[in-house]
Amino acid sequence: MIAYINVSVRGEDMMNDSRNGSMNRPMNDSKETAASAVSYTAPSTVSATEYNKRNIFIGTTLIIIGLLWLFTLVSEPIQKAYAAANEFFWVSTNERAIATDQIAAEAAVVLDIQSDEVLFYKNDKMKLPPASTTKMMTAMLALEEIELNQRVVVGPEVNWVKLGESKAGLRPGQLLTWEELIAAMMLPSGNDAARTIAVNIGMKYAEAGATREEAYHTFVAKMNERVQELGMYDTNFANPHGMDEYDHYSTAYDLATLAKEAMKDEWFRYIVKQEEFQLTEAAGNGNAQEIIRNRNQLLQPESEYYYEGAIGIKTGFTDGAGYCLVSAAEQKDREIIVVVLHSTKEQVWTDSHSLLKYGFDIK
């Protein structure tokens, strides 16, 4: 079992100085008699009381100083650990615990799907660009509205794709099933497929006579309605594909929440797990089938980043978001979701590997 303490240490170690005080014994007056006999006069009652008070005060002060010194000695390493973790601190009985500085990603979360327990977090509530992990929401909403074997005509919205965007190579006039269209969005991360989905689903809710652009924005509004329903209060979507926009952001925690919800759909699970997917002749050039390949290297057996037991979910990259990955894996009766945001090209995979392994090792 893990206890989580989300703290931020901003103070400095307190240093307690002490001085060794000296105390003279009370001096007693004496008088010599004429016969040189010496008589001793006992201290007065007042002097004795003051003497006892001084002893009590000094003794108490020394005890307090000793306790403060002991507290400083014990708390210093804890404070240093707090400062090193900065915004993250947790206690674990697991000997394989991972420190946040071992994870290159700006933000990360490990979520146990069965228990709904967060097993690891780093800046999990930090708002960051989510890149193409956004498409999890697009796919989930589409699957709630359609029949997978229904066909869709690709429209001119595929030409809205700008230079440098990821695309599945769809062309206006192509005829695809919804399953193929969602696969074209989730596996090769096609923004052209994401826009086609948004327009076609948006048309169902837009006013009569709405343009394709208006239908597109209607779909985005639906995305944000679902955001609120899921309690993703640190998320706002401005598009269905994940390209950087100032009001398009999410958090590692919210994306883990979204992934958990999306993975409840059996068809979502099926599509995101595929290493590759074959499009029908109608979806391709009319003469041969086209094969689209999943960018998630955790699923590719020939990849150095292959993770046995991986079952999805979505890659992402933009200049603003860096390299992102929402991944899931299963072992025996357990499923773990890992979210890694704003990592590097190589470490997005190693971060995910480390966190998946940690998630399964911890129990």
Residue 189 bears catalytic tag: yes
Distance CA 359, CA 343 (A): 19
What is the end-to-end Cα distance of the chain in Å, rounded?
8
Q: Identify the CA nearest to 235 among candidates 208, 264, 255, 256.
A: 255
User: CB of 177 within 8 A of CB of 280?
Assistant: yes
Torsions phi, psi of 247, nearest 5?
-105, 25
227: helix, coil or strand?
Answer: helix
103: helix, coil or strand?
Answer: coil
Query: What does the block give as tokens for 247?
Result: 């009001």
Distance CA 192, CA 210 (A): 20
Torsions phi, psi of 42, nearest 5?
-65, 150
| Catalytic, out of 122, 166, 167, 189 | 189
| Catalytic, out of 122, 135, 167, 222 | 135
Residue 166 bears catalytic tag: no
Distance CA 175, CA 283 (A): 5
Residue 222 annotated as binding? no
Alpha-helical regions (H) of the chain: 45-85, 135-145, 178-186, 191-205, 212-229, 252-262, 266-273, 347-361
Total number of residues shown for the chain: 363
* CA 288-294-298 angle, 5° bins: 150
Residue 132 bears catalytic tag: yes
Strand pairing category for 38-40 and 30-32: antiparallel
Q: Which residues are catalytic?
A: 132, 135, 189
Residues contributing to the annotated binding site for substrate: 314
Binding site per annotation, positions: 314
